Structure 1
């Protein structure tokens, strides 16, 4: 939300890499192999009896005020301001009240609300992250669905704002990234405005990101309205290739939205129908082809298991030299050895080979539902050299471009 909030309460969490759901690009061939399946790694549909608190196995409720943004609310514990409605929704309620004589940075607090996060419960690296919500309305309201990088050291650890709304813009939501040198009001993002003067408070909408090693795309109800990559940072550091956790909150007042005024009615509610994270399943197979440009296969030259054997493109032939296992440890294996970036290289053009599995970062791969195979250390894609589909063309890593020579289907 444009600056750190209650960061003292955010816990360190860890997660294995998982990947973005996006439109598949399948190479032309008679019988395309099965694409990487999408799986749900986090879901909360907020089912339960009316008045129940949020599921503590998925969320922790934060408490306190927030001087960083000069917000006016005090975040309360338990189900005082966040509870299930018995109809499959979480309702976060902001009220003009102070039943507990709560103290805020400016004195006696004027409002209560709720904020919760998944730190220590769930973190994710890459994926399709979405929430279906109906936001509140009114001057000074500031609902948000966002993420913080771990371990939290804002802004260096990064922030992804999936959806923010400030009450004086009832028809517009914002998506933003923050990091070292581009934080606070210097965050990089864009807004999305509903057509015809509609207000977001009038209906439920789905706010989402599709997050890959080299990009984050924001959407509302399936309509993508911006995409950000390292090229947008002007040489500053892209800090979005590690685990992040999710946050839901409803703030009242602050630098950006301004404070409530006489036109603002209370209580106001952020109603959340569902929060879900979908990633590709790269957690191991019995071994099969990886198919790419011109329907050809990733192949170990000469079917040799010797260290340093080149990995190339070749006609699919069903041999063990083309049977690859994508493992839950991030490795891709054939003939008992690992797909390896030669010499631990990270530069464009670093070639691929077969090598004993060492656990090194040059043997770690992220296979996305968008059909990219990425080495996270280099933040580069598995690539057919020169876009050449001839048998024997060496495979390499290269800056991800979305080209056909970087699209793969894993069976």
Structure 2
């Protein structure tokens, strides 16, 4: 679905805080795609490990559980509140300061409220503003490079409503948008109550040309009916989107058609509730106010990539095993009953390698085709020995952009491991003991 959305340029009253940040963005929709029913349980905090295509991420953790007295403002040590209107997207709201439209409810939630009102005689691009709402970000407070970024939220409903949970490159003040990059973790427009979108924007693929996809709840369920967890698992040269733990898209530089991947650097987090605009359209007589975006938590967890050792378990609870505990080059890597032997003790290193018995997990002959066998081989720094281990539990060889896979979906002892196009199937899900 295309949209005539332009870059979002917001007038800010906190200029002294954001002197280096000109927030010019273009939240764009992706292509809708139905997905399986998500789990109802919110996902727990988890970690993602980068591969060696870039330096390991600096360990960092951000969490806001929004605990505090009802009516109090958000924690100013973690968030700053933006103010102003937005002409470029033709949004209708004025973002207010303080706790007027963003406040804690005393029950562990942040409530961002959109109202049909104008108590301050605010002026917008179209004249006297008709609505107020709130937008907050972590610029100057917190940034992260890689990791799991997630929020559990209950979104509003109604024509013209546009909630978003997203990120901008921290260098936006130097390079501008879209060169800074933008990662839209979750967007919803009111006329699609069952669908959310995840999108990338960068140089040559911004606005309506963003790269993304949609996730739809089954059976006409609406996202506004319950809380859902929206997340990305982000590693060098790869980002995966999930809803309630179900991964619905994965993007790498291969998806950009030769255009620049600008997502291996620090980004900050943004939450907002817009009213109207090119993409959602304006509210109409069916839209009731006030509308609220309820945020249970925002969590960001990254891993410094420090080596750790332990078992890697997969389908059937079997362990990744070096056949015969043989450390010779070319020894098959297989599934086998877990027995605690050295042949099943794997170290995930900050250099992107996965090692056992002093050798590396290796894609045979550096192959990239489905079905290429995985083996043990002397560590040589090649791309065939680089792996990304995101929190979504895939183990990915970035060179092939393929997942570690138990052949035929079998859990029998001796099942050979290979690489295969990532499908999210059980035989591609692994638990790494850290």
TM-score normalised to structure 2 length: 0.64
- Give the deviation of 1:186 after TM superposition: 4.8
CA–CA separation in structure 1 for the residues paired with 2:319 and 2:291: 57
> Which residue of 2 is the match for residue 184 of structure 1?
207
CA–CA separation in structure 1 for the residues paired with 2:169 and 2:399: 17
Deviations 1:209-255 (A, max 9, x none): 46577784554xx596x933569x98747969757654211112211
> Which residue of 2 is the match for residue 323 of structure 1?
345
- Residue pairs, 1:194-209, within 5 angstroms: 203-209=225-231
- Aligned length, in residue pairs: 373
Q: Paired residue for 1:400, among 396, 409, 422?
A: 422
- 1:326 to 1:204, Cα distance in 2 relative to 1, 3 A: same
> Which residue of 1 is the match for residue 80 of structure 2?
60
Deviations 1:265-291 (A, max 9, x none): 655433323334678998654434666
Q: Paired residue for 1:382, among 400, 404, 426?
A: 404
Deviations 1:88-122 (A, max 9, x none): 221223343262x6554445655432112345525
CA–CA separation in structure 1 for the residues paired with 2:431 and 2:291: 47
TM-align CA RMSD: 5.0
CA–CA separation in structure 1 for the residues paired with 2:312 and 2:285: 65
| Contact persistence 1:298–1:311 (CA under 8 A) | no
Gaps of 5+ in 1: 12-21, 24-36
> Which residue of 2 is the match for residue 87 of structure 1?
107
Local SS of the residue matching 1:51: coil
Deviations 1:140-188 (A, max 9, x none): 332223344676643783533424133xx38444324244666434554
User: Does 1:257 pair with 2:280?
Assistant: yes
CA–CA separation in structure 2 for the residues paired with 1:59 and 1:364: 36
Q: Paired residue for 1:70, among 90, 96, 101?
A: 90
Gaps of 5+ in 2: 11-20, 25-36, 39-43, 48-60
CA–CA separation in structure 2 for the residues paired with 1:128 and 1:115: 18
> Which residue of 2 is the match for residue 135 of structure 1?
156
> Which residue of 2 is the match for residue 270 of structure 1?
293
CA–CA separation in structure 1 for the residues paired with 2:396 and 2:286: 51
Local SS of the residue matching 1:64: coil
- 1:303 to 1:133, Cα distance in 2 relative to 1, 3 A: same
Local SS of the residue matching 1:162: strand
- Give the deviation of 1:44 after TM superposition: 2.5
- Residue pairs, 1:155-194, within 5 angstroms: 157-166=181-190, 169=191, 171-179=193-201, 183-186=206-209, 188-190=212-214, 192=216
CA–CA separation in structure 2 for the residues paired with 1:200 and 1:148: 24
Local SS of the residue matching 1:112: strand
| Contact persistence 1:165–1:172 (CA under 8 A) | no
Deviations 1:71-91 (A, max 9, x none): 133333433432223232212
TM-score normalised to structure 1 length: 0.67
- 1:148 to 1:346, Cα distance in 2 relative to 1, 3 A: farther
